[in-house]
């Protein structure tokens, strides 16, 4: 006995295919795919010079630390899923790991909250030896799985000031990274903070160690702070890192630094591809509901012919 063949109209075939694709989209698990991502340990300088208010965000004057924090918060939303961000702080002579690198898409809320909690209340000493902090940050990154790149955000202000940059006694290039300069060009007074990070005054010349100067040269002003860009460039060269200055008023500035091709990593990441069958289903449904009825062109043709005949009669 020959079974009857079920024949479906074109419209029904499209509807059936769209339904199947929607079912697939609802149950399709993440697919392992190789993606280009980044893996960074972002270290914030939380010493008191980072509270100098010489940065702009959306036209508003903010401190260097706030500009650095909010720059990273904005950047998180633009990093590709699978990328990882860890958090650290620098104070005195070393870097302390706060949070090992976490995947940015599934942990964005927690990362944002953690970033905004970073401030001078976490500092354990008023000293600031940047070079030791940078070397310490590379040590911390080297001990972490996958050896994340170091993004060290600082104004370069040291107290007491270093006369020379010590030799980098680690293998150069074992950790990739960047020193990100945050600060203005005009030296400004440094806020004096209490243990709760509340301003209680300003640091005066007699309160800080001044840099030794030659006889007849201008006196050092270590109680004032501007971005020490030249010093950070020299430190970056000595440690095998890169150096760039942060434009605090540009939301794309830090994203560009974090996604620098020199930090690219190819990782196999569980990727959500459910959008693909869903998009195909939408296209099929559009084909169903936007298809011009077959009889419509014939009706239009007949109307055009009648109109042309009437026009010819009037012309004659």
**Number of structural domains the chain divides into:** 2
- Do residue 279 and residue 266 come from a single domain? no
- Average pLDDT, integer, range 155-163: 86
For the ranges 31-45, 162-176, 254-268, 290-304, the lowest mean pLDDT is seen at 290-304
Q: What is the pLDDT of residue 309?
A: 60
pTM of the predicted model as reported, rounded to 2 decimal places: 0.76
- Average pLDDT, integer, range 280-289: 82
Bigger pLDDT: 290 or 225? 225
CA 153 – CA 178 distance, rounded (Å)? 9
- Do residue 64 and residue 165 come from a single domain? yes
CA dihedral 180, 186, 187, 191 (to 10 degrees): -70
Q: What is the pLDDT of residue 291?
A: 59
Which residues, including other chains, have CB under 8 Å from residue 156's CB and lie 6 or more apart? 130, 181, 183, 227, 228, 229, 231, 232, 235
The answer to whether the Cα torsion of 108, 34, 282, 5 is positive or negative is negative
Is the backbone of residue 146 left (phi > 0), alpha (psi -120 to 50) or beta?
A: left
The answer to whether the Cα torsion of 218, 222, 228, 232 is positive or negative is positive
Bigger pLDDT: 295 or 227? 227
- Do residue 119 and residue 210 come from a single domain? yes
CA 193 – CA 189 distance, rounded (Å)? 13
Closest to 75 measured CA to CA, from 257, 260, 272, 269: 257
pLDDT > 90: percent of the chain: 51
Q: What is the pLDDT of residue 216?
A: 53
Question: Is there a contact between 39 and 266 (Cβ–Cβ < 8 Å)?
Answer: no
- Do residue 193 and residue 287 come from a single domain? no
In a domain, 244, yes or no: yes
Strand partners, 226: none
- Do residue 181 and residue 266 come from a single domain? yes
**Whether the predicted pLDDT of 292 surpasses 60:** no
- Average pLDDT, integer, range 178-205: 94
Q: What is the pLDDT of residue 304?
A: 56
CA 202 – CA 48 distance, rounded (Å)? 10
Collect contacts of 132-135 with beta carbons under 8 A, ≥24 apart.
132/93, 132/94, 133/43, 133/45, 133/90, 133/91, 133/92, 133/93, 133/94, 133/95, 134/95, 134/179, 134/235, 134/239, 134/241, 135/168, 135/169, 135/170, 135/239
Average pLDDT, the chain: 86
Bigger pLDDT: 7 or 69? 69
- Do residue 245 and residue 284 come from a single domain? no
Cβ-count burial 29-54 (b if 16+ within 10 Å, e if not): eeeeeebebbbbbbbbbbbbbbbbeb
In a domain, 6, yes or no: no
Closest to 24 measured CA to CA, from 273, 268, 306: 273
**Whether the predicted pLDDT of 235 surpasses 90:** yes
Q: What is the pLDDT of residue 268?
A: 74
In a domain, 4, yes or no: no
- Do residue 264 and residue 304 come from a single domain? no
Question: pLDDT tier at 312 (50, 70, 90 boundaries)?
Answer: low
- Average pLDDT, integer, range 185-211: 90
Bigger pLDDT: 287 or 225? 225
**Whether the predicted pLDDT of 314 surpasses 60:** no
Structural domain boundaries enclosing 92: 32-270
The answer to whether the Cα torsion of 293, 294, 298, 301 is positive or negative is positive
Collect contacts of 289-298 with beta carbons under 8 A, ≥24 apart.
291/11
**Whether the predicted pLDDT of 93 surpasses 60:** yes
Question: pLDDT tier at 107 (50, 70, 90 boundaries)?
Answer: very high
- Average pLDDT, integer, range 18-38: 85
**Whether the predicted pLDDT of 267 surpasses 80:** no
In a domain, 2, yes or no: no
Which residues, including other chains, have CB under 8 Å from residue 309's CB and lie 6 or more apart? none
CA 239 – CA 200 distance, rounded (Å)? 36
- Do residue 153 and residue 258 come from a single domain? yes
In a domain, 1, yes or no: no
- Do residue 263 and residue 301 come from a single domain? no
Q: What is the pLDDT of residue 29?
A: 86
- Average pLDDT, integer, range 143-157: 95
Which residues, including other chains, have CB under 8 Å from residue 51's CB and lie 6 or more apart? 63, 64, 65, 120, 190, 191, 193, 197, 199
Looking at 236, 255, 270, which one is the last position of a domain? 270
């Amino acid at each position: 006995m020959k079974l009857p063949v079920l024949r479906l109209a074109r419209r029904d075939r499209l509807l059936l295919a769209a339904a199947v694709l929607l079912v697939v989209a609802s149950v399709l698990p993440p697919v392992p795919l190789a993606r280009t991502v980044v893996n960074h340990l972002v270290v914030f300088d939380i010493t008191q010079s980072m509270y100098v208010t010489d940065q702009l965000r959306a036209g508003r004057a903010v401190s260097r630390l706030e500009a650095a924090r909010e720059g990273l918060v904005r950047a998180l939303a633009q990093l590709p899923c699978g990328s990882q961000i860890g958090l650290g702080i620098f104070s005195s002579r070393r870097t302390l790991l706060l949070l090992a690198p976490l995947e940015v898409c599934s942990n964005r809320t927690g990362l944002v909250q953690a970033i905004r909690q970073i401030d001078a209340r976490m500092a354990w000493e008023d000293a600031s030896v940047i070079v030791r902090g940078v070397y310490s940050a590379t040590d911390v990154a080297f001990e972490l799985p996958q050896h994340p790149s170091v993004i060290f955000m600082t104004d370069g202000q040291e107290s007491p000031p270093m006369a020379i940059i010590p030799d980098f006694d680690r293998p150069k290039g074992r950790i990739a990274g960047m020193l990100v300069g945050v600060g203005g060009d005009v030296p400004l007074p440094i806020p004096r903070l209490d243990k709760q990070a509340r301003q209680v005054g300003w640091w005066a010349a007699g309160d800080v160690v001044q840099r030794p100067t030659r006889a007849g040269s201008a006196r050092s002003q270590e109680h004032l702070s501007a971005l020490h860009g030249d010093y950070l460039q020299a430190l970056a060269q000595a440690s095998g890192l890169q150096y760039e200055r942060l434009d605090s008023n540009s939301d794309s500035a830090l994203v560009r630094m974090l996604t620098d091709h020199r930090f690219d990593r190819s990782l196999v990441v569980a990727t959500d591809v459910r959008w693909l069958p869903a998009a195909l289903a939408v296209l099929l449904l559009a084909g169903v509901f936007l298809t011009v009825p077959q009889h419509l062109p014939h009706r239009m043709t007949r109307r055009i012919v009648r109109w042309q005949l009437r026009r010819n009669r009037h012309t004659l």
